[in-house]
Amino acid sequence: MASFPDPAWFVALGRLMAAEGESFRRLGYAEVRFAIRVLSDEGEAIEGTTGLEFDGYALVRAEALTDSAAFEPDFVICGRRQVWNRMLEEIARNGRPELRHTLSSLALVGEELWLESSDQLREDKFYRVNQTLTEFFNLAAKLRD
């Protein structure tokens, strides 16, 4: 079983997304390219960055990135390992993160998760499709160990 943030882990979520079908259609389509970056708990060392792309109601791309800029993401969601792990543990336990631990809430404060982008308009896509991103991550509750 692949582990977060391996591309295969996201591909597994993508399969669940496809299986959900109607619930993601109801949220509306999303056209966005972004990356998830996991940093070590201790410092700024990057443990891994995965580039993802949604086209419509499907995850169409998931790949490990060494050069994020070349992937041209609209935004990169960055966070330390323990923050990501806490979110995923809460999702596994309750089907969703606790109220203040959602992607948007954490990125708002900007300490535990933060966004990087070359342009505010492209960063704003994080907000435009936020419900889709949130529900996508919540599918992790259905992943089997």
Partner 1 sequence: MATVQIKDEAKVGSEARFKYEPSAYLQKLYQTGTPDLGWMNQHGEWGIRAKPGNLGLRLKDIEIGSYGVVPEHGSTHRSMAPRGAVVPADVPSLDFTVNEKAECWADNAMELYEEAVARQWSSARDIPWDELRPLPDDLERAMCQLCTFFTEVEFIAADAPTRWMSRINQDFLEVKLFLATQAMDEARHTDVFRKRALANGGGLGTATTLSELSLKRIFDSPSFSVQTARLHLLGEGFVLTMFRQGEFIAQSRVEQEIFRRCMQDESRHVGYGTVHLREQLKSRPELAGEIHDQLDDAEQILLQTFSVPELVEPMAILMGGGIEHFDKGMELQGQLWRRIVNEYLQRCDSAGLDRRPRCLLPTDFAQLFGA
Residues 1-40 that bind partner 1 (CB under 8 A): 27-29, 31
Instruction: List, as one string, the DSSP characters of 84-133.
Output: HHHHHHHHHHHSS--GGGSHHHHHHH-SSEEEE-S-HHHHTHHHHTHHHH
Among the residue ranges 16-24, 38-46, 66-74, 96-104, the one whose residues contact partner 1 (CB under 8 A): 96-104
Binding residue count for partner 1, defined by CB under 8 A: 25
Q: Which residues pair with 63 in a beta bridge?
A: 51
Measured CA to CA, the distance from residue 51 to residue 70 in angstroms comes to 10
| Residue whose token pair is 């896509």 | 125
Closest separation in Å from C-beta 57 to partner 1 = 8
| Residue 110 touching partner 1 (CB under 8 A) | yes
The dihedral through the CA atoms of 139, 86, 99, 132 has a sign that is: negative
Closest separation in Å from C-beta 104 to partner 1 = 5
Measured CA to CA, the distance from residue 145 to residue 140 in angstroms comes to 10
| Residue 102 touching partner 1 (CB under 8 A) | yes
Closest separation in Å from C-beta 21 to partner 1 = 15
CB closer to partner 1 out of 9 and 126: 126
Residues 35-74 that bind partner 1 (CB under 8 A): 55-56
Measured CA to CA, the distance from residue 51 to residue 72 in angstroms comes to 9
**Site residues (CB under 8 A) for partner 1?**
27-29, 31, 55-56, 99-100, 102, 104-105, 108-110, 119-121, 124-125, 127-131, 134
